[in-house]
Amino acid sequence: MKTILIVDDEPRTREGVRKTLEAWSSGQYRIETAASGVEALAWLQNNEVNLLITDVRMPEIGGLELVEKLNEMPHPPVVIVISGHPEFDYAQKALQFGVVEYLLKPLDKTKLVRAVELALKRKDDIYRIERMEKLIDPKLMETVQQEKVYSTQVREALQYLDEHLHESISMRDIADQLHMNASYFSVLFKEQTGLTYSEYVTRRRVQRAKELLVSTRLSIAEIAEQVGYQTAKYFVKVFRALENVSPGQYRQNVMTTEERIQ
């Protein structure tokens, strides 16, 4: 269950925000409160939060100081700042810290809920980006970034490979498909992508396997077949050589991370 933490030293505001969000969430979110920045930091030592709603002016640790400390965390929450004063300097600094919204007291319930929905969507977007970064092979990413300088033959080869990754495709098969000499195609492919044909195919198959491992419940054998390996045993060997873990361990690690972040 995703968690929202409300931090405000004014009991009336703190409880008002809590009640509004509890009514809005209908039990879908865990709503927690803290009466100060110090209390919030103590709570965060043993808990994770997706969205932080904090007042700017509080004793000891103010809202922006709290946000600055949270930005040092591996997975900081998204933040909504609330204030009783329309101070430009506070608002400007809040934006520099990546705060999603700056709301003025007295809070409008509709604007508060809208800001919370926007913030949680932003958190989901950040999570998806982080997850994709873990999936993407950096060497394959380099080939994508360089695609604009590829020759027509290499672009066609990459597209054909993507569409037939589940098949056993030799370099000669691709060269024949493109009506090219296999030796010339080999040199051209390495020159433009920075990878040999064999290296590219292996990395692309493992990349596809990683996507299937986190997005489906297919068995390791089924995934091996879908990415072009005739035996699960050989697929596991290739996967481990590139990722330093087995496909099963990779799936478990990503799922565990997903539960922790969410």
CA angle 71, 79, 97 (to 5 degrees): 50
Q: Distances from the Cα of 129 to the Cαs of 115, 142, 145, 160, in angstroms?
A: 21, 17, 17, 27
- Residue 148: band (very low, low, confident or very high) from pLDDT cuts 50, 70, 90: low
pLDDT of residue 253: 80
Q: 83-104: per-residue pLDDT in tens? A: 887 776 767 677 667 788 888 8
CB-count burial class (<10 Å; 0-12, 13-18, 19+) for 229: buried
Q: What are the φ/ψ torsions at residue 27 (nearest 5 degrees)? A: 85, 0
Q: What are the φ/ψ torsions at residue 79 (nearest 5 degrees)? A: -135, 140
- Closest to 60 (Cα-Cα) out of 81, 40, 43: 40
Q: 98-145: per-residue pLDDT in tens? A: 788 888 889 999 999 999 999 999 888 887 767 766 677 777 777 766
In this prediction the pTM is 0.59
Task: List residues bridging with 33 in a β-sheet.
Answer: 6
**Domains of the chain, earliest start first:** 3-133 (3.40.50.2300), 138-261 (1.10.10.60)
